[in-house]
Amino acid sequence: MANQEIKSSNSENEAKKTTKEKIFDASVDLFSKKGFNDVTVREIAKEARIREGSIYNHYKNKEAILDAIIDYFKSEITQSNIPAEETTNLIDKGPEAYFEGGVKMFMARINIPQMEKIWRLVCIEIYHNAKIREFFKKELLEEPLAGWENIFSIMMEKKMIKPVNPRTLAYEYWSYAIFLVFEYFILKYDEDFDSFMNLGLEKMINHTRFLLEAIKIEEETN
Amino acid sequence: MANQEIKSSNSENEAKKTTKEKIFDASVDLFSKKGFNDVTVREIAKEARIREGSIYNHYKNKEAILDAIIDYFKSEITQSNIPAEETTNLIDKGPEAYFEGGVKMFMARINIPQMEKIWRLVCIEIYHNAKIREFFKKELLEEPLAGWENIFSIMMEKKMIKPVNPRTLAYEYWSYAIFLVFEYFILKYDEDFDSFMNLGLEKMINHTRFLLEAIKIEEETN
DNA sequence: GTCTATACCCTGATAGAC
DNA sequence: GTCTATCAGGGTATAGAC
């Protein structure tokens, strides 16, 4: 956490940035707005206030810049995963507490200044870039689905929630999160200037409450 | 319904196609695979087995081909909307029947041979093409959400389902459909050779059952 | 490392004979 | 309508002086 300020954010201390960082940040900006294909190396150079040729001293080619951004995204996402030990502790606090934890976990993956732009970039390049697509499928779809399925199974064993198909329940829960990402970063990114953190959080909590109501154990069974 | 075979599908009677149709079909094929930007006019000409220059006798430019495809998509989607009168009739048959109708309505929008490719094209160009994005937002997100909100409100008034926030319920229902579209056409299009019709139908029915269970009126209240 | 200058390729689109 | 030939522009990437 000491020298973790490698990726300095936007307009702050622009002067202190290395050229490589300038290229990285300018590319994040442009790619997230226009998509990889529609950004030219000339534009990146202009935005980074350097000459075109200098870019190739830091990155092999245009594709390599995108790769670096994807790697950064991957590492940020993977870091924010909740360790397995904490999971078991959280479950005993009841479904409400766990859901709340889940929402916060989900939001933590987005609530880093530059990450919101990279999320946008990931969403718009997902069809086009195999690396992004495979990562998204594995780390943001299959792995969370399997995780939630496991959680729900445990909760059912402990009679904390109604017995339903845990796989179905995992899909019911998580698909909404993916929908929110899609809705925000693809459909509404240009118009909603509020961050996903603020807009999505409320909707996700709403969703969680609804689901909780559907699967809670009725009091009257006592 | 008589001369509605204008858009002849793939390999059938290739010879009978007009040149304009050849260009249209070749473009649908290529755009849906690679995206608009990564397809060249030369490729389209090759796929359509004509010369490059001939394309411009039928379409003003490359963009105009995409526009024609989008217009075709729009008209197919709009046609398959259920008229308002039928809606009220369906509601009285109970939530199960109505949901079933809803799923079929949704699937009907996809289950036309060439439409599956165009759906893919729409999904991958949605960030990039304002016309597609606005249509998707209006006709496939906002309008259905408003429609379902209305349906659910009526059902609640008629005490057919539990009283919950109808807007929330509409989101709970419809967001899953959008998720399925996204999952299939973006994440899994290359690998799943089965049509969305087959794969999505089962998942959507599963979802419907879960939601129905959550909002049904309990028998014991009698 | 950064700059200037440029090579080389591919793009969408057009002109004009047939 | 379809073809051949071609253009102008813009794309990535490189060479070589500083």
Q: Over its length of 222 residues, how does chain A's per-residue pLDDT go in tens digits?
A: 333 344 444 445 666 899 999 999 999 999 999 999 999 999 999 999 999 999 999 999 999 999 999 999 999 998 877 777 778 888 888 888 888 877 877 777 777 779 999 999 999 999 999 999 999 999 999 999 999 999 999 999 999 999 999 999 999 999 999 999 999 999 999 888 888 888 888 899 899 999 999 998 876 544
**CB–CB contact B176 A178 (8 Å):** no
Task: Kindly state the helix (H) or strand (E) to which residue B202 belongs, with its residue range.
Answer: helix B196-215
Tokens read off for A197: 């953190």
Tokens read off for A33: 């707005």
**How sure is the predictor about B110, in pLDDT bands with cuts at 50, 70 and 90?**
confident
Q: Is residue A2 part of a domain?
A: no
Check residue B201 and give its pLDDT: 87
Please list every residue in chain B whose beta carbon sits closer than 8 Å to the beta carbon of residue A169.
Answer: 210
One domain, residues B103 and B144 = yes
Q: Within its chain, how far is the Cα of B125 from the centroid?
A: 14
One domain, residues B71 and B146 = yes
Q: Is residue B116 part of a domain?
A: yes
CA max distance for chain B? 74
Q: Name the nucleotide with the smallest C1'–CA separation from A52.
A: C3
Domain interval for residue A40 = 15-59
Spatial contact of B120 and B32, defined as CB atoms under 8 Å apart: yes
Residue B187 has pLDDT above 80, yes or no: yes
CATH label of the domain that carries residue B50: 1.10.10.60
Tokens read off for B4: 């509605």
- Name the β-bridge partners of A161: A216
Report the SS3 class of residue A161. strand
Check residue B13 and give its pLDDT: 64
Give the orientation angle of helix B62-79 with respect to helix B41-48, to 10 degrees. Answer: 70
Spatial contact of B149 and B170, defined as CB atoms under 8 Å apart: yes
Check residue B26 and give its pLDDT: 98
Interval B135-184: pLDDT, tens: 999 999 999 999 999 999 999 999 999 999 999 999 999 999 999 999 99
Q: Angle at the Cα of B43 (from B42 to B48), degrees rounded to 5?
A: 100
One domain, residues B156 and B74 = yes
Percentage of residues of chain B with pLDDT beyond 70: 91
**How many CA atoms are closer than 13 Å to the CA of A83, on its beta-carbon side?**
3
Q: Is residue A99 part of a domain?
A: yes
Tally helices (H) and strands (E) across chain A: 11, 0
One domain, residues B76 and B183 = yes
The rounded mean pLDDT for chain B is 88
**How sure is the predictor about B133, in pLDDT bands with cuts at 50, 70 and 90?**
very high
Check residue A218 and give its pLDDT: 75
Tokens read off for A109: 């993956």
Q: Which residues of A touch B (CB under 8 A)?
A: 35, 37-38, 123-124, 126-128, 133, 136-137, 141, 164, 168-169, 171-172, 175-176, 178-180, 182-183, 186-188, 203, 206-207, 210, 213-215
Phi, psi angle pair for A216, to nearest 5°:
-70, 155
Distance CA B23, CA B188 (A): 27
One domain, residues B86 and B37 = no
**How sure is the predictor about B220, in pLDDT bands with cuts at 50, 70 and 90?**
low
Q: Alpha-carbon dihedral of residues A151, A155, A158, A164, nearest 10 degrees?
A: -120
One domain, residues A19 and A35 = yes
CATH label of the domain that carries residue B104: 1.10.357.10
Distance CA A29, CA A134 (A): 23
**How many CA atoms are closer than 13 Å to the CA of B3, on its beta-carbon side?**
0
Q: Is residue A4 part of a domain?
A: no
Q: Angle at the Cα of B207 (from A140 to A207), degrees rounded to 5?
A: 60
Percentage of residues of chain B with pLDDT beyond 90: 67
Check residue B23 and give its pLDDT: 98
One domain, residues A33 and A120 = no
One domain, residues B92 and B181 = yes
One domain, residues A86 and A170 = yes
Q: How many domains, in total, are found in chain B?
A: 2
Over range B36-65, report the average pLDDT: 98
Identity at B13, one-letter amino acid code: N
Tokens read off for B80: 């398959």
Check residue B125 and give its pLDDT: 98
Check residue B217 and give its pLDDT: 86
Q: Where are the alpha helices (H) located in B35-83, listed in sequence order?
A: 41-48, 62-79
User: How many inter-chain contacts (A to B, CB under 8 Å) are there?
Assistant: 89
Residue B46 has pLDDT above 80, yes or no: yes
Spatial contact of B164 and B71, defined as CB atoms under 8 Å apart: no
Q: Choose, out of A210, A212, A221, the residue to mutate when testing the contact with B (most B CBs < 10 Å).
A: A210
One domain, residues A52 and A74 = no
Q: Is residue A115 part of a domain?
A: yes
Buried b (16+ CB within 10 A) or exposed e, A168-185: bbbbbbbbbbbbbbbbbb
